[in-house]
Amino acid sequence: MNITVICVGKLKEKYLKSAIDEYSKRLSRYCKLEVIELNDEKTPDNASEKEELMIKEKEGSNILKHIKDTMFVIALAIEGEMLTSEELADFIKEKGVRGNSNIAFVIGGSLGLSKDVLSRADYKLSFSKMTFPHQLMRVILLEQVYRGFRIINGEPYHK
């Protein structure tokens, strides 16, 4: 299975990079992982709604350039569906069984995802009604994908 994480913003914090590296290494047993980091657009202080929309659209256009037609796209969005770890594992397994072996998770920038990206998504996934820093969300996502593969393979994981 191929897992691609398309995310807006570069990681600067060493501790987050270390966590991403660790989960990437762990996931290499189960799938081919690719993390695509895209530049985020600078949002001026007191940006107008129109300016924020333009920024989201520009970031969205950049995201869409990296989405292939063969990918099953999962957008991380607050309004998405919440799953347990076991349900996410079943979801990933079911996609593989049905021939969707290219899954792309999309994490937007600080303003979220554009309408075009949300429209292209095959599924919207929410980890919580709370807002998380998009850099930290990468770590949370990779940990849950790793946990999902452990569940799929009947391997122990922390409950």
User: How does strand 2-8 pair with strand 102-107?
Assistant: parallel
Looking at per-residue pLDDT, the higher value among 100 and 26 belongs to 26
Q: Is 105 annotated as a binding residue?
A: no
pLDDT on residue 131: 85
Instruction: For 106-149, write each residue's pLDDT tens digit.
Output: 999 989 999 999 999 999 999 999 888 888 999 999 999 999 99
Q: Is 115 annotated as a binding residue?
A: no
Q: Is 110 annotated as a binding residue?
A: no
Domain formed by 2-153, architecture: 3-Layer(aba) Sandwich (3.40)
Instruction: For 41-56, write each residue's pLDDT tens digit.
Output: 888 888 899 999 999 9
Q: Is 129 annotated as a binding residue?
A: yes
pLDDT on residue 2: 96
Residue 93: is its pLDDT beyond 90? yes
Give me the chain's average pLDDT, please. Answer: 94
pLDDT on residue 158: 67
Residues in CB range of 28: below 8 A, 6 or more apart: none
Q: Is 16 annotated as a binding residue?
A: no
Q: Is 70 annotated as a binding residue?
A: no
d(CA 32, CA 132): 26
pLDDT on residue 44: 85
Q: Is the pTM of this model over 0.85?
A: yes
> What tokens does 147 get?
């946990």
What DSSP designation does 58 have?
H
Q: Is 48 annotated as a binding residue?
A: no
